[in-house]
Structure 1
Amino acid sequence: MEQIKAYFEKTLQLTEEHWILFSSKLEQKKIPKKTLLINSGDTENWLSFIDKGIVRLFIPGELEDITFGFAFEGQFVSAYDSFLTRMPCTYALETLVDTVVWQISFDDLQSIYHSSKEGNYIGRLAGEALFLEKAKREISFLKDSAEQRYLQLFTHQPHLIKYIPLKYIASYIGITPQALSRIRKRIS
């Protein structure tokens, strides 16, 4: 739980009272690898902070999934559009390795929002972090080559990328596994 507290304390002076209120609503979950956190068609009820592990965001396909995001240790993850709108999501979230998350439910987060200004700020920081990751990916697809997107992922979490199957990395950067092999051969 210290990692999530440190995350918020980078930008917010949390009083012990507000931290106790927020942390009392957090639930720790240990999730085995290859487990769905949410499936396409379900409504997201959790905002999760990854204490340890990797989560993949993907659109399930009949032949192949389309991976469009990864979340790593020290980041929030959620089907956030579904979380906000209370509507079913069109994608899924899956752990790629054994993962530990701290989760807060939609209802508990709403309760915290209403109880204090700091609680509202905590939720805003989490939502902003998810938005910034999404925006960064969209901009990268518009301006960067596949090789640049691969290198950015590799430099972002070099010690964790070895746990992500190459077919997911290829899908994430928008190329075939064969094209990814050529890029990796060229830059090694």
Structure 2
Amino acid sequence: MEFIREHIEAFSVLTDSDWLYFSSRLVQRNFKKRTVILRHNEVEDHISFIGEGVVRLYIPHELKEKEVTFGFSFKNQFISAYDSFLTRTPSLYELETLSETTLYSISYKDLQDVYDNTQFGNLIGRLTSERLFLLKSKREQSLLNETAEQRYFKLFKERPELLNVIPLKYVSSYIGVTPQALSRIRKRIN
């Protein structure tokens, strides 16, 4: 779990005692590809750090083709249905792995304990909140200011390896177009 410490220390220095206190509460959870790790109407009880894998955030629908994908999280990023985590209310969306995924998770109860007993606690809470807010803000601005083609290009410019991991039906939903429109975008780009 030292890589998590290194990631956090890119923002702030941790004392050894704070790191030990925090890391002792992290639980490694392994998931197979295409596992729903949080279902609609469940209360999110974890904030997790992705050690390996890709997680999709989406609004489920009875008809699979009508699901709305609104986010992806990748290795070395935090993942949570954060609104549900904070408010302790049922989630309106689901989290699903798109590849074999390893998460290092801390429960709500344990995080409250870390907040109360370490100097580092408030920092990790703030960093997680800021990261999740920035992702949300970036997504909203992208939908308002960029074309679907720009969103597609940007997604794969930032993460080219995703072409092998994320099914195109999720990409089309994420950038806000039909699979047919995505096919036309891909032909223009190629």
Question: TM (normalized to structure 2)?
Answer: 0.97
2:161 match: secondary structure: coil
Deviations 1:126-158 (A, max 9, x none): 121111111100010000000111111101211
* Residue in 1 that maps onto 2:49: 49
Alignment of 1:167-182 (within 5 A): 167-182=169-184
Alignment of 1:83-94 (within 5 A): 83-94=85-96
1:144 is the counterpart of 2:146 = yes
Call closer, same or farther: CA 1:113–1:43 in 2, change over 3 Å.
same
Contact 2:85 2:108 (C-alpha < 8 Å) held by counterparts: yes
* Residue in 2 that maps onto 1:133: 135
Distance 1:118 1:141 in 2: 35
Distance 2:185 2:60 in 1: 26
* Residue in 1 that maps onto 2:8: 8
* Residue in 1 that maps onto 2:39: 39
> What displacement does 1:117 show?
2.2
* Residue in 2 that maps onto 1:106: 108
**Mind listing any 5+ residue stretches in structure 1 that lack a counterpart?**
none
Distance 2:7 2:119 in 1: 18
* Residue in 2 that maps onto 1:78: 80
* Residue in 1 that maps onto 2:58: 58
Deviations 1:6-56 (A, max 9, x none): 111001111111110110000011110111110000000000110100000
Structure 1 window deviating more from structure 2 (119-128 vs 65-74): it is 119-128
Alignment of 1:158-173 (within 5 A): 158-173=160-175
Contact 2:148 2:177 (C-alpha < 8 Å) held by counterparts: yes
User: Which portions of structure 1, spanning 4 or more consecutive aligned residues, are displaced by more than 3 angstroms?
Assistant: none
> What displacement does 1:62 show?
2.1
**Mind listing any 5+ residue stretches in structure 2 that lack a counterpart?**
none
> What displacement does 1:161 show?
3.4
> What displacement does 1:160 show?
2.8
* Residue in 2 that maps onto 1:69: 71
Question: TM (normalized to structure 1)?
Answer: 0.98
